[in-house]
Structure 1
Amino acid sequence: MHSWVRLTGGALASDRARAFGAAGPGGGRSVWEWWRLQIFDPEFHCVAIYRLGQFAREVRARNRTLGTLLIILHRVVNRFMTQIHHTEISPQARIGPGLRLMHRHGVLIGPATIGRNCVLHHGVTIGERVAKGDHGVASIGNNVWIGPGVIITGAVHIGDGVTISAGSVLSKDIPDRCLVAGNPARILNADHDNTDLLGFLPGT
């Protein structure tokens, strides 16, 4: 129960706030509208199912039987959602609160580490660079905006506040607050403010 409260009151609550804005019931939205958004928003569903997988693994660490049942449930639901929404998030990924999927189709996230309040668009791939035998995965900082069709490969580090333009291919480290674009990606601005792109940030 503690894990579920921590999940729903922490990461998932931040995901929900990022998806639907600050206004919940009594704060600009009716109760019906608030629940309608959660029930029918497919991008939020993809994120919530990933969080369910994390919750299941936490439970299994303390209660193997219950945790295993939850993991099986997650695998079934995740398989269904992958087929429907064409989005796959590895259970081994470590993603901070406030993840926002702008468009769900064609998103593939491997066992990467992703910080808080990141935005991903359709066609994003975050995976391994196997061509050179590099089986590492990316480490992505907080408040990173990733545009459509971006490919991030290998054990690269992407700093906080980075903005990655559509269609970019990254295989090298990127410092904080950079705006990058191209294949291979190049730094266009070394001190770019992406606050407007990120949208609502819980706690700000």
Structure 2
Amino acid sequence: MFVFDNYYTLGELVKTAYSLVATKLFFPGASLIRRPFYMRGKPRVRLGRGFRTGYRCRIETFGSRGDTSAKLVIGRNCHIGDEVHIAAAERVEIGDDCLMASHVFISDCSHGDTLTATSDDHPELRPLVSEPTSIGDNVWIGENVCVLMGARVGSGSIVGANAVVNKKFPDNCILAGAPARIIKCYDPELGRWVRAD
């Protein structure tokens, strides 16, 4: 937590101190969870040591009463920005040492199986469908990114701002666009990122 190398106002310093105390009381392994913070389904969430959030983050898992299976697993030293929303009905896995900008949405579920639901059905009444979603280790996710049901972001990858990731991608790629596509890959022999063919 880099308090002393930032130029916080007194109000910001007080809010950070309050958040730090609340973090140590309710999430002892975390580094700093800034308030306000919203969590639903805490027994189904596994947070790695060093977890840190910005303001107004929302984490939710869905399951029946008594279900404590790990539906959301976040690795060590993951830092997420302001207003990140993560929703898990089946399984969302985020690896170690990931960094996310603000306004990121990650989910493994969606309202409405297009095989059984019709356009006349109210979206809230459509069956919830899910497919595991994963993000590897050492991933940087830019501002306003959506990582959708069944998607995979490989380890060592970068996801550009405003991308919509809706499928599986290999390790060490730069993704951009809506829907996301590979624009560069890391070449270990050259030691640099090269344009994708």
Flag the structure with larger Rg.
2
TM-score range, shorter chain: 0.5 to 0.7
Contact 1:110 1:137 in 2 (8 A): no
RMSD over aligned CA atoms reads 3.8
Q: What amino acid maps onto 2:86 in structure 1?
A: I
Corresponding residue of 1:168 = 163
**How many residue pairs were aligned?**
137
Q: Quote the Cα distance in structure 1 between the aligned partners of 2:24 and 2:177.
A: 30
Give the SS at the match of 2:130: coil
Shift of 1:53: 5.2
Aligned mate of 2:175, from 170, 177, 180: 180
Question: 1:127 and 2:107 equivalent?
Answer: yes
Deviates more, 1:84-93 or 1:138-147: 84-93
Flag the 1:183–1:50 CA change in 2: closer, same or farther, 3 A: farther
Corresponding residue of 1:152 = 147
Q: What amino acid maps onto 1:82 in structure 2?
A: Y
| TM-score, structure 2 as length reference | 0.56
Structure with larger RCO (C-alpha < 8 A, sep 6+): 1
Corresponding residue of 2:65 = none
Q: What amino acid maps onto 1:122 in structure 2?
A: S
Flag the 1:129–1:184 CA change in 2: closer, same or farther, 3 A: farther
* Unpaired stretches in structure 2, ≥5 consecutive residues: 40-53, 62-70, 114-127, 189-197
Shift of 1:54: 8.5
More strand per residue? 2
Deviations 1:161-190 (A, max 9, x none): 110000000110011010000000010002
